[in-house]
Structure 1
């Protein structure tokens, strides 16, 4: 598992997940100017990546984690090399476990304006998490999973048919290879 140090914003690789200390995980709505793992690794592109809105989101996230005495961070778009099908498959198979093991999840809903309305949370449901804190537009605190339990009913909507099956891997505690393009056959394999 690849994590980011909250204070230095440098990557650290953990080969044995049992050695990982407490970490915060970020679940977020994707925006324009998100950064990728490859962008942040290339010295020639790093400055451009750090100027993007996606990196600013990481900075605020790191500050919140540091304030809560957490040394490490994880966020999907930034830590998974999506150009590697092996890494992407491993990440999807591990995602439920990673969310469940996190000390806290900061759910950032950048497109939900204040005041928070239940309809703003309908498409955002996470069941693996013990501690979940919601933030809305400009990182304004919106409440916890417990406080917002009613609008966070366990339903899941995805953009790809396969992802509906893949998001249930953790619930059933299984692993299977990702075969994008298989459509509804993913449910038969599940």
Structure 2
């Protein structure tokens, strides 16, 4: 994964080759093409810096779209990258806020009148502040009509991150996914449960497909490819196959995975302690502390403490240490913090 890093002088550099288990907290940016890339990136990396995040990700800088292998990996990983982000900033170039300039001495008055306990300021000039007119909410009609809500790729960019903050074209905060959830629900028809982070497995294939039904993409196949993460499906990207074939493959892969999971759930689980003993005898013992890195992995911890997700998939090439990792995780299973009924599935690919 590539990330952009901002230093103390305001300079930005590209950091490449970050391993999944050592990715620092980062902000991720969402926009629609043609939004004025330089202005957008400058506004949003300033916002990330103010939020204490040195690292941020934006597709225009962090994906080499000319590399087919990298593009395939990026499309398959996109949902996960958005889900892992500390914050997602959505830049709405077609939503303008009515502005007024006030002297900084009026700050307390504005905060009191707006009924807010805090006030976000977009710029840092000492004698003046530029603020949105939060009293009239004059930007709401433009927000409802924003192009961002009509694009296929932004479905996952809305659903995957826990925190999504919206900004006007001037870079002023409009609210977040939580404070605007009813507005977003009415615009997108996406259920509140999905917006609030409930498992997407609670929703059928047709329900999830409907969330993107009225949205458009530049390439017709992207109507399907943009939903990889929504369906937790991994399959090859084949531009030129057409939208219908892409959706057919997506649905077939979803059903295939669903049947495999259903079969797995119907299988009587074996005692992991017995399996661990068998593996250690076969492999010559467990390397002490060899698995400890996984305990800091965000995906493992999210699964470990979840009351919803019962399965942890461990995928990797043969000979990469999945078996030893599995033994270490089984040790963790014996601790009381693990969710009751959790199961592990180790898969060599």
Q: Same fold (TM over 0.5)?
A: yes
Detail structure 1 runs of 4+ shifted over 4 Å in the superposition.
none
How far does residue 20 in structure 1 lie from its aligned partner after superposition? 0.3
How far does residue 113 in structure 1 lie from its aligned partner after superposition? 2.3
SS at match of 1:70: coil
- Please state if 1:5 is matched with 2:5: yes
Contact 1:122 1:151 in 2 (8 A): no
The count of residues paired between Structure 1 and Structure 2 equals 170
Deviation sequence 1:161-183 (CA, Å, 0-9, x none): 31121122112322211111111
Question: Which residue of structure 1 lines up, in the alignment, with residue 23 of structure 2?
Answer: 20
CA distance in 1, matches of 2:39, 2:149: 26
Question: Which residue of structure 2 lines up, in the alignment, with residue 86 of structure 1?
Answer: 69
Which residue among 210, 217, 226 is the counterpart of 1:167?
A: 226
Higher relative contact order (CA 8 A, sep 6+): 1
Higher radius of gyration, 1 or 2 = 2
Question: Which residue of structure 2 lines up, in the alignment, with residue 189 of structure 1?
Answer: 249
CA distance in 1, matches of 2:149, 2:45: 26
- Please state if 1:73 is matched with 2:73: no
How far does residue 87 in structure 1 lie from its aligned partner after superposition? 1.0
Question: Which residue of structure 2 lines up, in the alignment, with residue 146 of structure 1?
Answer: 178
CA distance in 1, matches of 2:61, 2:55: 13
Contact 1:132 1:144 in 2 (8 A): yes
Deviation sequence 1:55-94 (CA, Å, 0-9, x none): 2322221111111111201011221111111111110110
CA distance in 2, matches of 1:122, 1:151: 12
Which residue among 32, 39, 47 is the counterpart of 1:64?
A: 47
- Please state if 1:119 is matched with 2:122: no
CA distance in 1, matches of 2:32, 2:231: 26
SS at match of 2:76: helix
Distance 1:119 1:54, change over 3 A: closer
Q: For the aligned residues, what is the CA RMSD?
A: 1.8
User: TM-score, length-normalised on structure 2?
Assistant: 0.46
* Higher percent of residues as helix: 2
